[in-house]
């Protein structure tokens, strides 16, 4: 199991996330927080749940999720063994629209705590919302995906290598 220096565990973090004052809570069907193996080294972070994710309460289970699974399988990775998946936003925006700045800012502190708790050896950020939010940049995914990047948590001195990729939904 992962060593955790903070005094928060995954269930406490989930409860904290569920209490967020996010305008999407009342219109989404389900809270969508995580999937995969928490004891793996790689954390994948996407944007927000879509329709299928909202129905099932799990991230990346729709068409984009199936493509993501295929992409990961191609390089020997999968959710059961060596990948852990979450999103910046925990509730589905209506019509699968892009989350707005307010929604991102409400959820981002929990996502940062989630990264700290998970303590990954590598972060894979899918799409503009995850990449721009966590790397604190205005650069788009087309440029970011070509760079060697690092996620830095100033509070805990956590530094993690990052690979920014196009979101599978964009590839579809």
Tens-binned pLDDT, residue by residue, of the chain (172 aa) = 454 545 689 999 999 999 999 999 999 999 999 999 999 999 999 999 999 999 999 999 999 999 999 999 999 999 999 999 999 999 999 999 999 999 999 999 999 999 999 999 999 999 999 999 999 999 999 999 999 999 999 888 899 999 999 999 888 8
How high is the pLDDT of residue 2?
Answer: 52
Residues paired with 88 in a beta bridge: none
Run of H or E residues at 170: helix 168-171
Query: How many Å separate Cα 89 from the centre of its chain?
Result: 8
Q: Is 143 left (phi over 0), alpha (psi -120 to 50) or beta?
A: alpha
In terms of Cα–Cα distance, which of 169, 146, 164 is closest to 62? 169
How high is the pLDDT of residue 100?
Answer: 96
How high is the pLDDT of residue 89?
Answer: 97
C-alpha–C-alpha distance, residues 47 and 128, integer Å: 8
How high is the pLDDT of residue 3?
Answer: 46
C-alpha–C-alpha distance, residues 9 and 52, integer Å: 27
């Amino acid at each position: 199991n992962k060593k955790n220096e903070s005094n928060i565990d995954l269930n406490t973090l989930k409860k904290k996330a569920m209490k967020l004052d996010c305008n999407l809570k009342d219109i989404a069907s389900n809270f969508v927080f995580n999937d995969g193996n928490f004891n793996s080294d790689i954390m994948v972070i996407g944007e927000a749940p879509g329709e299928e994710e909202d129905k099932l309460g799990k991230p990346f289970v729709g068409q984009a999720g199936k493509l993501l699974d295929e992409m990961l399988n191609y390089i020997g990775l999968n959710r059961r063994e060596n990948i852990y998946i979450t999103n910046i936003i925990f509730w589905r925006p209506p019509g699968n629209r892009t989350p707005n700045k307010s929604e991102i800012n409400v959820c981002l502190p929990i996502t940062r705590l989630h990264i700290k708790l998970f303590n990954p050896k590598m972060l894979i950020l899918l799409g503009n919302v995850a990449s721009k939010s966590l790397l604190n940049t205005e650069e788009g995914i087309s440029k970011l995906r070509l760079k060697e990047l690092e996620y830095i948590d100033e509070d805990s001195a956590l530094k993690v290598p990052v690979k920014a990729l196009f979101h599978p939904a964009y590839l579809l």
